[in-house]
Structure 1
């Protein structure tokens, strides 16, 4: 069998890296056996590296050693020739990821040597530093002008300290061209706000508390598409008289766990403020509120539909996350208006806190309105009264089944006639095989008889859904076999 080869004995880098995950196993022997492919293969292999262990293992055997704790260490400071050896590989690293375990694997000697290194990763483009402890001098050595994207910290906010504020303050000078930043910082908010005011190309920002000047600067950036920040006050810290015209995603995190009730006058004002600050083209809106769970047992988070109505102007919404709201006063007609106003919705999280209050006004009919008018939905989290309805009447009879929806969470929604509810859910959502429930109930309510009864009912719904889904799969398979038999007959 003859084999034809390309005329040019090389591939462009872009051609080589099309299927990186499937090529990684072949690339290592390729870069060792084929001189033509060596450089592009090495570029792909080293493009993204976790930690420093892999890089340091390129040093001669007599240079690195292990401590009694098993940490990677050095026998002596690195000399020019050894730095040159490392640079052969370090210059290829564009997207390093450094987490707690990576830093736990290296000794103080390694940290000290890397701090005094020549530019360690001279072509770094995106940095993930997923550690909330020390090692800040080492992090500081990685901050270079070529950096465009950065993640600092993970899950828990950095504890406030002067050294952390100083590091944040240096970001503006060391990384002047940042486009995407996630900085999980609680302390140093003044430094962060000051640095942000110097960046002109921000596309994505996820950080802590921002002052008025920083918010005004962000509003002036036509490049900004996604904004996520923290406020400790519903009114004073929210944007005022600023307009994020280019923003398509907004996430506001609020912490009032230490505040005093009541909250009633603030939330409506917040909703109005957000509706005025962000453009009608907004695609994602999430308001995350951290409160004491016991406060949700009161009615301070329960609002009528008029409070939510200003958000209806966001006609391009694809994701809405207001799961902390109490929706006892949001009925089926209100849900219909919301569904008709947001036809592009893909994710709908609304009204989790209602589970701790009165019975919801919304019924299964309101749930069906969402399915009918939001054809792109694939995830729903809401609280409603799940009672079967007349399948020959609207909106059930006019609703086309949605095969995209594969996840539903209902909390402790009350339910009547679990068999009928399961059948109607399956007819409208044929791809759904399971309903999540009960996750919004706090520990003090878990042993209540009414909660236990609800869990039993939703368990039955899931049992029926599994049977109905399996039956549909069998019927589909039998239909395929029948079609094959008719074609071969």
Structure 2
């Protein structure tokens, strides 16, 4: 055997690639049988991450269980200490269990599960579990949740479907979360508007607030409930909240000293402003997601209301995620210079993403007036993910102004009129080598060679363009525009670079 194959780390990498790229079944453990030095490493790779518990139960002796025609695992005889020893040997290798799509127990019959639990002396089925993700969970097995709450658990995701998950049994088990799994760093919980779920969450809240290692939390919560308890999540770095429901949100006092990232989802921007009227949560990254679209005037008013609440001096990234309109476009939804005014005081902004809103009313001067307040900008995405019947007013002049004002720009998405080849005389002073992709959205284009010539001068490392995504109905002229921008890309990556550079200089001279 080659000496390299005696190094466990190298073997682990090899086995991991074989397992994840060759679609090996759980039952295929041939590598673990090749030689003794392969066995433990191969079994670790096979069992480290499981979608459900079935692979652990099917490792047990075949006379213990049988699979029915309905793919159900049924117990055939009593479980012995020898059976449990086998289960324990494999279960101790599992670090990640479950996913967001399937039942945690797969097709295992509840009687079989309880029989194994009866042999479990330490009250843990998977003693070294670090990640647990649960979407579907049989009601008669809720008591088993305690057997998954390992002291090594660092990630817990509970995103059930339906209203039958938050029973008294499940609530009682999770109320001891801070005792059973005190090292939790990431939690995801979903609670609907049902009375039983709200009551359950009130019981679980104290346990969440006692998790001193918690760094990231994601919650789906009813908007009409008090959210002041969020202030007690100590040491939190990221907070993601989806406030569900259509009722008027409850104003609560939430005070958090600082967050790396805050994401809040609500019906519309107006509800955002009302909900956080008494919040003070300074954050470096802020994402506001809406289910409906407000007018630009309402958005501007709401942004002013968020000032010193969520919009604070430390702000570096702002994402406004508005839904794409499929009905007739309303011009009052289009952003103007006035819409951006509440954001202009944040000179430390590095990223702005308002990709689904209409920016067709912004012209070159308006864009220049906006970005001059954001000299540190590294990523800018404006109106590039949807087609709007109102054509963009920004031209190459505005693009050059943007690049000269924000020299650190690395990511760019902007719809502009590429049919107007009017680069300013100062174009020779602008050259950004950081940007390699350009989300041009619904930018109109005709003369591909001329466009590629100008872009090569100001964005010489640009390689790829993306028009707006094709959703339910393809936008007018999208296929033609996509082909045109591909042609620009081919020109810019031409192998005849010297001759092409001469063409660029000739065009710029004229």
TM-score (norm 1): 0.73
In the other structure, the counterpart of 1:482 is: none
1:308 Cα deviation after fit:
2.0
Task: Please give the secondary structure, in 2, of the residue aligned with 1:128.
Answer: strand
Determine if the alignment matches structure 1 residue 254 to structure 2 residue 290: yes
Alpha-carbon contact 1:229-1:253 (below 8 Å) kept: yes
Equivalent residue runs for 1:406-445 within 5 Å? 406=437, 408-439=438-469, 443=473
Determine if the alignment matches structure 1 residue 203 to structure 2 residue 195: no
Gap change, CA 1:475 and 1:165, over 3 Å in 2 = farther
Gap change, CA 1:63 and 1:254, over 3 Å in 2 = same
In the other structure, the counterpart of 2:319 is: 286
Q: Measure, in 1, the Cα distance between the counterparts of 2:377 and 2:33.
A: 47
Alpha-carbon contact 1:347-1:379 (below 8 Å) kept: yes
1:40 Cα deviation after fit:
7.3
The alignment's C-alpha RMSD in Å is 4.3
Alpha-carbon contact 1:332-1:366 (below 8 Å) kept: yes
Task: Please give the secondary structure, in 2, of the residue aligned with 1:202.
Answer: coil
Gap change, CA 1:365 and 1:76, over 3 Å in 2 = farther
Alpha-carbon contact 1:249-1:284 (below 8 Å) kept: yes
The structure that is helix-richer by fraction is: 1
In the other structure, the counterpart of 2:176 is: 173
In the other structure, the counterpart of 2:480 is: 456
Match of 1:336 among 368, 373, 382: 368
Can you list the C-alpha shifts for 1:238-270, whole angstroms capped at 9, x where unaligned?
A: 32232223x33333322238xxxx756542233
Gap change, CA 1:70 and 1:225, over 3 Å in 2 = same
Q: Measure, in 2, the Cα distance between the counterparts of 1:96 and 1:474.
A: 56
Can you list the C-alpha shifts for 1:177-197, whole angstroms capped at 9, x where unaligned?
A: 432233455546845577456
1:390 Cα deviation after fit:
4.6
1:298 Cα deviation after fit:
0.9
- Greater Cα offset, 347-356 or 420-429: 347-356
Equivalent residue runs for 1:343-358 within 5 Å? 343=375, 345-352=377-384, 355-358=387-390
Q: Measure, in 1, the Cα distance between the counterparts of 2:61 and 2:147.
A: 24
Match of 1:124 among 120, 129, 149: 129
In the other structure, the counterpart of 1:242 is: 279
Q: Measure, in 2, the Cα distance between the counterparts of 1:421 and 1:208.
A: 47
Can you list the C-alpha shifts for 1:17-63, whole angstroms capped at 9, x where unaligned?
A: 5895345379985897456x976776566443332233223312222
Alpha-carbon contact 1:49-1:93 (below 8 Å) kept: yes
Equivalent residue runs for 1:57-96 within 5 Å? 57-76=58-77, 78-96=79-97
Gap change, CA 1:470 and 1:326, over 3 Å in 2 = same
Q: Measure, in 2, the Cα distance between the counterparts of 1:373 and 1:362.
A: 16
* Structure 2, unaligned runs of 5 or more: 20-28, 234-253, 501-510
Alpha-carbon contact 2:98-2:133 (below 8 Å) kept: yes
- Greater Cα offset, 190-199 or 118-127: 190-199
Match of 1:399 among 419, 430, 455: 430
* Structure 1, unaligned runs of 5 or more: 477-489
Alpha-carbon contact 1:377-1:405 (below 8 Å) kept: no
Task: Please give the secondary structure, in 2, of the residue aligned with 1:435.
Answer: strand
- Greater Cα offset, 369-378 or 18-27: 18-27
Q: Measure, in 1, the Cα distance between the counterparts of 2:69 and 2:3.
A: 56
Q: Measure, in 1, the Cα distance between the counterparts of 2:117 and 2:405.
A: 57
Report how many residues are paired: 446
Task: Please give the secondary structure, in 2, of the residue aligned with 1:277.
Answer: coil
Match of 1:213 among 222, 228, 231: 228
Task: Please give the secondary structure, in 2, of the residue aligned with 1:206.
Answer: strand
In the other structure, the counterpart of 1:148 is: 154
